[in-house]
Amino acid sequence: MLLTRIEQAFKDLKGSLSIRPIWHQWERRINAHIFVSFLAFCLHTTLRNLARGRAGGLTSEAILEKLSGIHMIDVHLPTTDGRHIVMSRYTQPEKDVLLLLAQLGMTLPEQPPPKVYASGQIGL
């Protein structure tokens, strides 16, 4: 029964991310598939348990769908002396997403500080 839940979590995650099916021919890819399946199961289980205690009636899929509106972007700004500044920023969530985060007892991390790179360097 646990294996069925793990595979279902992986299928849900693949569907949410629009990942096409992959037929594995190498052992390392099979191991990677198993690892990603396990991580998807852990995420779904954690969200289900959080929702059960704090936001009854919500499924892990509904929580992931709601949180999918939060994105992280990198803003690259060139400077006059040839360097560039990279600012990684999270989009501000809508009020309903903030309410959901509060119900689940979660907070978003602080915005990371900007990084300055010399000319020719690429910050990723």
Q: What is the pLDDT of residues 56-93, one digit of tens each?
A: 788 888 888 888 888 888 888 888 888 888 888 888 88
pLDDT of residue 95: 92
SS3 state of residue 5: helix
State the average pLDDT over residues 110-124: 74
Instruction: Indicate the length of the chain as a whole number.
Output: 124
DSSP H helical ranges for the chain: 2-17, 27-54, 60-67, 95-104
Query: Which amino acid is located at 67 in the chain?
Result: L
With a cut of 70, say whether residue 13 has pLDDT above it. no
Residue whose tokens read 């890819």: 29
More confident residue, 44 or 14: 44
With a cut of 50, say whether residue 124 has pLDDT above it. no
Threshold 0.75, pTM exceeds? no
More confident residue, 55 or 86: 86
